[in-house]
């Protein structure tokens, strides 16, 4: 494998990790929002 190919592959891998982290963070935020809205709805009921 050429040096340039390996560098771009490494870059791609890092990008994928960053994407995965941000996705996990967004999912966590969404679940927290859902939990909070459910709690508010229970108070109303």
Per-residue pLDDT tens for 32-43? Answer: 999 999 998 887
Say if residue 1's pLDDT is above 60: no
Per-residue pLDDT tens for 2-21? Answer: 677 788 989 999 999 999 99
- The per-residue pLDDT for 42 is 86
Indicate whether this model's pTM tops 0.85. no
Q: Quick one: residue 38, left, alpha or beta (phi over 0 = left, psi -120 to 50 = alpha)?
A: alpha
Q: How far apart are the C-alpha atoms of 23 and 35, rounded to whole Å? A: 18
Q: How distant, in Å, are the alpha carbons of 32, 36, 45 from that of 29?
A: 5, 11, 24
What percent of the chain has pLDDT above 70? 91
């Amino acid at each position: 494998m050429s040096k340039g190919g390996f560098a771009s592959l490494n870059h791609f891998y890092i990008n994928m990790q960053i994407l995965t982290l941000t996705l996990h963070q967004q999912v966590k935020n969404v679940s927290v929002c859902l939990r909070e809205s459910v709690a508010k709805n229970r108070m109303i009921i």
